[in-house]
Structure formats: structure tokens, C-alpha cells
């Protein structure tokens, strides 16, 4: 009997070992579906559950992975591995708020752990909480020099409109990793926005010396030379891109503008025309192309282009009226009636038969500026906008005009006339 029991235990041990080896082989060959099947047959334990959840996560089945990890964390809220995996899973599903909750839980367990600090900071950064990210990154940098934080700080400062600080951290990152294209791209964009063409030329030239094939950086470099009026270098850089197949709007636009500046009109026309095919609403481009067309003899086309540019540049009266009318309203509500009148007068010129504008101007002169003569003038203009049909009886006409301030204005006109008459005596 004893020998049978020993044999059974040996068999059981060998079976467990064989099962364990089978799981390990499945994991080593990345056959996570098989590993899940094998783990399911094992006796339930926290270790097996964790392994199973990891397998689910690795094959993108995040819902069952989250369910298992949450159960593990409920049973043991000090299990850092499970907490971090759970936070990762929620991050992968896009639920950044829950991910932040679990990363914070891990950080509370190990507040001085650098891995936990970075995980939590990264999720705060992804949640676009720029100021909190800056604070967390600064606290880490006080203890350790981690260049990986420089571009993150640069992004945060840029987002809160502190460009000087953004530039500072982007430059620090590039000193540490000169080949960091993403950071250079962001820095170049700031220099271009700020018209800082010398710095843009310097940083892009440094990069081009080590990588001359990057299209974006070469383009920034060429644009900077063009804006700096160094047209020969701009043409050299941008034409190289064009010959390599870059037919983008920006490359053609600045290449065309550079040729135009050097009075080389034929290539200027060719490149500006290609830009126009991609964006026919850019006013500077329309002007350059229109001028170039005229200079190479395409007079009618040039005139048509320039007229089109004028149509785009000068808003329609209806659009201008809306802008000026609301500016006038704003000044009126600030009790700045003289300023308000300036804009209502412009509105009146744009739409001289607009009843409400005339009535409003008259009311300001009458009620706020104590100018009865001017009030009378505009009240009369207001009344004149109403057609009076002579074949209808006066009572019928006035009845039709009721509710249009017509009667009230007529009465006010008589009052102002009487007041002015008696003021003369």
C-alpha cells in the first residue's frame, strides 16, 4: 500500500511538472491562447490568475484581463505588479482617468519609487494636465537628471504659452540627443512662428549635417532662408526637395517666392502654380502668382487672379455690417455711447435703409447724448424707410404700421420739434 501511495505521488508530481513545463513552453513561444487553456486547468491561485491575466493582456483581450487584475487587487491592494498591470490595461482601453487612479494607488504604496513616479507623471501628461505634469517632472529632476523629461516639460510649457521655457527644455533635450527629430520639429515650429529665422537656420543646419534626408527639417531650413531673404540658399535647399519628389504646398510656395524675389519669373510661375492647385485661397500666394503671371505675359490671367484676391480680402458688406453692429452694441453696453455711434454710423453707410440701425442711432442721440437735432434727423430717416401708400386712408396705414415703433417715433418727432421751437424763443 505504501509503495502504491509513493507511486501515485511521484506520478502526480511528474504530471504537475509536465503541466508547468507545457505552460512555460507556450509562454516562451508566445502562444498565449494555449497558455490560457493550460492555466485554466491549474489549481486557482493568485500567481496563476496573474499569469492568465497577463496572457489576456498580451493578446489584446483587455476586458477579461481587467476583470482578473481587479479581483487580485481587491484581495491584495499592496500587489504592485497587479496594480500597475491594471493601470496599463485601462490606459490601453483609453480610460485614462481609471488608469490614473491605479497608477496613483501604486505611487502611494511606493512614493519614492522612480518607476511609479514616471508612470503617474506620464498619465497626468496624457490627460493634458500641463501644470501638474510640470510639478511632477520638476520634483523628479531635483533628485535625478533624467533627460527623458526635457521634451515633456517643453511640451507642457508650450501648451501653457510659456514659449521661452519650452525652448529652454527643447534645447536641453537636443544637447543630450541631437538626433531627436520630434523635439527639433517642435522647436523649429516655434522659431518659425516667432519669426526667429536665424535660430531656425542654426538648429536645422546642425541636424542636416548628421541626417540630410529628413524632408521636414530640410523644408524648415529652406523656409527660414527664404524668410531671411537668403534666396539662393532657399532655392538650393527647397529645389533639392522638389527634385526628390516633394510637391507639397509649402515647398512649392517658398521655392516660387524665392525665384520671384530673384526676378526668375518662369520657375516662380511654375512652382506658385503648383501651390495654387493645392490651396487657391491663400492671399499671399494669389498676389505672388497674379504678379508673376502679368510679368511673364499672362496678363488676363494675372488680372483675374488679383481681382479674385481682392474679392477674398475685402469682406462683403453684410459680413462687415455684422461685425461693426456687434462692436457698436458692445460699446453701448459699456455706456460708451460716442464710441458706439462711430460704429453704428459705419453700419448705416453699409446698409443705409436698415430701420433698426437708424432707430438705434436716433435713440442714442435722444436718450443718452442729449442731441435733439441729431435725434430728429435720424428719427426722420427712420420714418422715411416705411412706404406710405397714398391711396390708403391714413388710419389704415398707421394701423398696419403698429408694432413697428412707427407711431411712437412720429409722436417723438413732434415732441422734439416743439421743444426745439420753444428753445428758440
Same domain, 41 and 119: yes
Mean pLDDT for the stretch of residues 262-271: 97
**CATH number for position 56:** 1.25.40.10
Answer whether residue 119 is part of any domain.
yes
Same domain, 224 and 239: no
Lowest average pLDDT, out of 12-16, 107-111, 131-135, 298-302, goes to 12-16
Q: How many domains is the chain built from?
A: 4
State phi, psi for 363 to the nearest 5 degrees.
Answer: -65, -40
pLDDT, one tens digit per residue, over 385-398 is 877 654 555 665 55
pLDDT grade for 402, boundaries at 50, 70 and 90? low
Same domain, 32 and 114: yes
Q: Is the confidence at residue 349, as pLDDT, over 50?
A: yes
Answer whether residue 291 is part of any domain.
yes
Q: Is the confidence at residue 62, as pLDDT, over 90?
A: yes
Same domain, 235 and 223: no
**Which of 111, 127, 143 corresponds to the end of one domain?**
127
Looking at residue 423, its pLDDT comes to 65
**DSSP secondary structure letters along 288-318:** HHHHHHHHTT-HHHHHHHHHHHHHHHS--HH
Range of the domain at 266: 231-314
Same domain, 259 and 301: yes
Answer whether residue 151 is part of any domain.
no
Q: Which of 12-16, 196-200, 373-377 is most confident? A: 196-200
Same domain, 343 and 255: no
**Contact predicate 288/257, CB 8 Å:** yes
Same domain, 299 and 342: no
% of the chain with per-residue pLDDT over 90: 70
Answer whether residue 12 is part of any domain.
no
Looking at residue 19, its pLDDT comes to 58
Same domain, 245 and 185: no
Length of the chain equals 425
Answer whether residue 330 is part of any domain.
no
**Contact predicate 355/347, CB 8 Å:** no
Same domain, 65 and 99: yes
Residue 370 cell numbers, joined: 442729449
Lowest average pLDDT, out of 273-282, 346-355, 411-420, goes to 411-420
Looking at residue 27, its pLDDT comes to 86
Looking at residue 9, its pLDDT comes to 38
b/e burial code for range 272-298 (CB count within 10 A of at least 16 → b): bebbbeeeeebeebbbbbbbbbbbeeb
Q: Is the confidence at residue 219, as pLDDT, over 50?
A: yes
Looking at residue 13, its pLDDT comes to 44
Looking at residue 128, its pLDDT comes to 96
Signed CA dihedral, 195, 197, 198, 202: sign only: positive
Same domain, 197 and 222: yes
**Which of 112, 127, 142 corresponds to the end of one domain?**
127
Mean pLDDT for the stretch of residues 255-280: 97
Give the mean pLDDT of the chain: 89
- CA 46 vs. chain centroid, Å, equals 46
Question: Which DSSP letter does residue 42 get?
Answer: S
pLDDT grade for 421, boundaries at 50, 70 and 90? low
Answer whether residue 344 is part of any domain.
yes
Same domain, 204 and 235: no
Q: Is the confidence at residue 144, as pLDDT, over 80?
A: yes
Which residues, other chains included, contact 256 with Cβ-Cβ below 8 Å and sequence gap of 6+? 267, 268, 269, 270, 271, 272, 274, 275, 288, 289, 292
Instruction: Give the residue with greater pLDDT, 305 vs 402.
Output: 305
Lowest average pLDDT, out of 33-42, 251-260, 261-270, 409-418, goes to 409-418
Lowest average pLDDT, out of 22-31, 88-97, 224-233, goes to 22-31
pLDDT grade for 18, boundaries at 50, 70 and 90? low
The label of the residue with cell 504646398 reads: 249
Instruction: Give the residue with greater pLDDT, 419 vs 355.
Output: 355
Answer whether residue 17 is part of any domain.
no
Answer whether residue 100 is part of any domain.
yes
% of the chain with per-residue pLDDT over 70: 90
**Which of 314, 344, 378 corresponds to the end of one domain?**
314
Same domain, 66 and 110: yes
pLDDT grade for 40, boundaries at 50, 70 and 90? confident
Q: Which of 27-31, 91-95, 323-327 is most confident? A: 91-95
Amino acid at each position: 500500500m505504501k509503495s502504491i501511495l509513493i507511486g501515485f505521488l511521484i506520478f502526480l508530481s511528474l504530471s504537475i511538472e509536465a503541466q508547468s513545463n507545457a505552460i512555460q513552453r507556450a509562454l516562451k513561444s508566445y502562444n498565449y491562447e494555449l497558455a490560457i487553456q493550460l492555466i485554466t486547468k491549474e489549481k486557482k491561485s493568485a500567481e496563476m490568475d496573474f499569469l492568465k491575466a497577463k496572457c489576456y493582456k498580451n493578446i489584446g483581450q483587455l476586458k477579461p484581463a481587467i476583470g482578473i487584475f481587479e479581483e487580485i487587487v481587491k484581495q491584495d491592494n499592496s500587489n504592485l505588479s497587479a496594480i500597475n498591470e491594471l493601470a496599463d490595461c485601462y490606459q490601453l482601453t483609453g480610460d485614462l482617468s481609471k488608469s490614473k487612479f491605479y497608477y496613483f494607488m501604486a505611487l502611494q504604496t511606493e512614493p519614492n519609487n522612480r518607476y511609479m513616479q514616471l508612470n503617474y507623471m506620464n498619465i497626468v501628461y496624457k490627460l493634458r494636465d500641463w501644470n501638474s505634469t510640470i510639478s511632477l517632472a520638476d520634483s523628479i529632476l531635483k533628485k535625478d537628471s533624467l533627460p527623458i523629461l526635457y521634451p515633456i516639460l517643453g511640451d507642457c510649457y508650450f501648451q501653457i504659452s510659456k514659449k521661452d521655457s519650452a525652448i529652454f527644455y527643447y534645447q536641453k533635450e537636443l544637447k543630450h540627443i541631437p538626433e531627436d527629430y520630434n523635439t527639433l520639429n517642435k522647436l523649429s515650429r516655434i522659431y518659425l512662428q516667432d519669426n526667429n529665422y536665424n535660430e531656425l537656420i542654426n538648429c536645422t543646419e546642425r541636424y542636416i549635417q548628421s541626417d540630410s534626408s529628413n524632408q521636414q527639417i530640410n523644408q524648415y531650413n529652406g523656409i527660414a532662408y527664404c524668410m531671411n531673404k537668403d534666396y539662393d540658399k532657399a532655392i538650393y535647399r527647397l529645389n533639392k526637395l522638389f527634385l526628390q519628389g516633394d510637391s507639397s504646398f509649402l515647398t512649392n510656395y517658398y521655392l516660387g517666392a524665392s525665384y520671384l524675389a530673384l526676378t526668375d519669373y518662369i520657375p516662380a510661375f511654375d512652382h506658385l502654380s503648383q501651390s495654387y492647385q493645392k490651396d487657391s485661397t491663400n492671399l499671399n500666394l494669389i498676389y505672388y502668382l497674379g504678379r508673376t503671371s502679368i510679368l511673364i505675359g499672362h496678363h488676363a490671367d494675372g488680372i483675374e487672379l488679383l481681382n479674385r484676391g481682392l474679392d477674398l480680402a475685402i469682406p462683403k458688406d453684410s459680413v462687415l455690417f455684422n461685425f461693426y453692429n456687434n462692436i457698436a452694441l458692445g460699446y453701448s453696453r459699456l455706456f460708451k455711447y460716442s464710441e458706439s455711434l462711430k460704429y453704428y454710423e459705419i453700419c448705416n453707410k453699409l446698409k443705409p435703409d436698415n430701420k433698426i440701425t437708424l432707430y438705434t442711432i436716433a435713440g442714442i442721440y435722444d436718450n443718452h447724448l442729449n442731441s435733439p437735432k441729431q435725434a430728429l434727423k435720424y428719427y426722420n430717416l427712420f420714418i422715411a424707410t416705411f412706404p406710405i401708400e397714398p391711396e390708403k386712408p391714413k388710419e389704415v396705414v398707421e394701423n398696419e404700421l403698429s408694432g413697428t415703433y412707427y407711431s411712437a417715433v412720429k409722436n417723438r418727432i413732434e415732441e422734439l420739434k416743439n421743444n426745439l421751437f420753444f428753445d428758440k424763443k
